[in-house]
Amino acid sequence: MLEALEASDGFLSAQQLHATLREQGQRVGLATVYNRLRILADTHQVDVLRTESGEALYRRCGAQGHHHHLRCRRCGSVQEVESAEVEAWAHSLAKKAGFSDISHTIEITGLCEKCHG
Amino acid sequence: MLEALEASDGFLSAQQLHATLREQGQRVGLATVYNRLRILADTHQVDVLRTESGEALYRRCGAQGHHHHLRCRRCGSVQEVESAEVEAWAHSLAKKAGFSDISHTIEITGLCEKCHG
DNA sequence: CAGATAATGAGAACGGTTACAATTTGGTAT
DNA sequence: ATACCAAATTGTAACCGTTCTCATTATCTG
Ligand SMILES: [Mn+2]
Ligand SMILES: [Mn+2]
Ligand SMILES: [Zn+2]
Ligand SMILES: [Zn+2]
């Protein structure tokens, strides 16, 4: 299952992943895919993001720590992104406002070179 | 409808907004709330964000241009946030990677002073 | 092998959202 | 005022991704 995720270069939905596994001949139920994905997400072994339409997308990330993504809206290809400055900015901003238990999400999207046109 | 959104200090779901309007005595259908919210969102008169669970939340924002939010996960209270540096960072990063039609989302969340405990 | 325990998965249920057909509303012409 | 038409509104059904249920299957343990 992790391997199938790893094989894909972009984010996959639970249902796409399920379809992929079935095509490979694995007899796995959709419920199991959801259950396992939840565990993987809870233990930070995969990243989760939400489409504009609310669907959850999953990806096995190369970077293991906290990071963000630059993603093509058309083909789904993803590059990982990080910036200590931006991390510091987000955290200190929230702290100054009296917030605790601070987290943040940053997603940069666009059309990649291939998909542009 | 916009007034009801404005009266709330945080983000509201479509169903919360519907309930609020009904409590105020307005006889409005849920479908209409969804339809009007969609129009308001399409014309950038309200901001939309997605909960971790996928639910859409709407807010009439004070700032009219592009900006981001610092939001309390518990009570939903929101402060608006912007940073020219971070905007520039996101855009130039994507541009360097060959992306066009670039956009981004940034959401900072935590527990506000009141809710911390 | 027997029994206990955990993982699995088909299908039902759920919750937010959207589509649709029917009704109401509002305006315009007669 | 009345007839007519177009647009807005509405309840309800359908939709879709996700979660729950629980019977079945696999895995462990002695
Ligand atoms: Mn990643
Ligand atoms: Mn805002
Ligand atoms: Zn692309
Ligand atoms: Zn709070």
* CATH code (residue A69): 3.30.1490.190
Size of interface A-B (CB pairs under 8 A): 104
pLDDT (average), residues B74-91: 93
A8 and A56 share one domain: yes
B49 and B75 share one domain: no
pLDDT over 80 at B117, yes or no? no
Query: Is the CB of B110 less than 8 angstroms away from the CB of A94?
Result: yes
Cα angle: B109, vertex A86, A6; to 5 degrees: 80
Closest chain B residue to A48 measured between Cα atoms?
A: B52
pLDDT over 90 at B73, yes or no? no
Question: How does pLDDT run across B2-28, given as a tens digit for each residue?
Answer: 899 999 888 999 999 999 999 999 999
Write down the residue that tokens 């666009």 correspond to.
A110
Identity at B53, one-letter amino acid code: S
| pTM of the predicted protein model | 0.89
Query: pLDDT truncated to tens, each residue of chain A (117 aa)?
Result: 889 999 988 899 999 999 999 999 999 999 999 999 999 999 999 999 999 899 999 999 888 889 999 999 888 889 999 999 999 999 999 999 999 999 999 999 999 999 987
Q: How many angstroms separate the Cα of B99 from the Cα of each of A56, B48, B81, B89, B107?
A: 23, 24, 25, 14, 22
Strand partners, A69: A80, A107
A57 and A72 share one domain: no
pLDDT confidence of residue B63: 83
Strand partners, A77: A10
* CATH code (residue B36): 1.10.10.10
CA of B56 vs chain A CAs: smallest distance (Å): 8
A30 close to B (CB below 8 A): no
B4 and B37 share one domain: yes
What range defines the domain where residue A89 resides?
65-117
Q: How many angstroms separate the Cα of A6 from the Cα of each of A9, A46, B44?
A: 7, 10, 37
pLDDT confidence of residue A46: 94
Query: Tell me, in Å, how far CA of A76 is from C1' of D8?
Result: 38
B28 contacts B21 by C-beta, under 8 angstroms: yes
B111 and B83 share one domain: yes
Closest CA to A59 of A1, A106, A11, A19: A11
A11 and A32 share one domain: yes
Strand partners, B39: none
Strand partners, A13: A57
Number of structural domains (chain B) is 2
Write down the residue that tokens 């919360």 correspond to.
B16
Residue A76: DSSP 8-state: -
pLDDT over 90 at B74, yes or no? no
Distance CA A91, CA A44 (A): 20
A54 and A100 share one domain: no
pLDDT confidence of residue A78: 92
Which residue in A106, A113, A116 has the most chain B C-beta atoms within 10 A of its own C-beta, making it the best mutation to test that interface?
A106
Strand partners, B56: B50
A32 and A74 share one domain: no
B49 and B72 share one domain: no
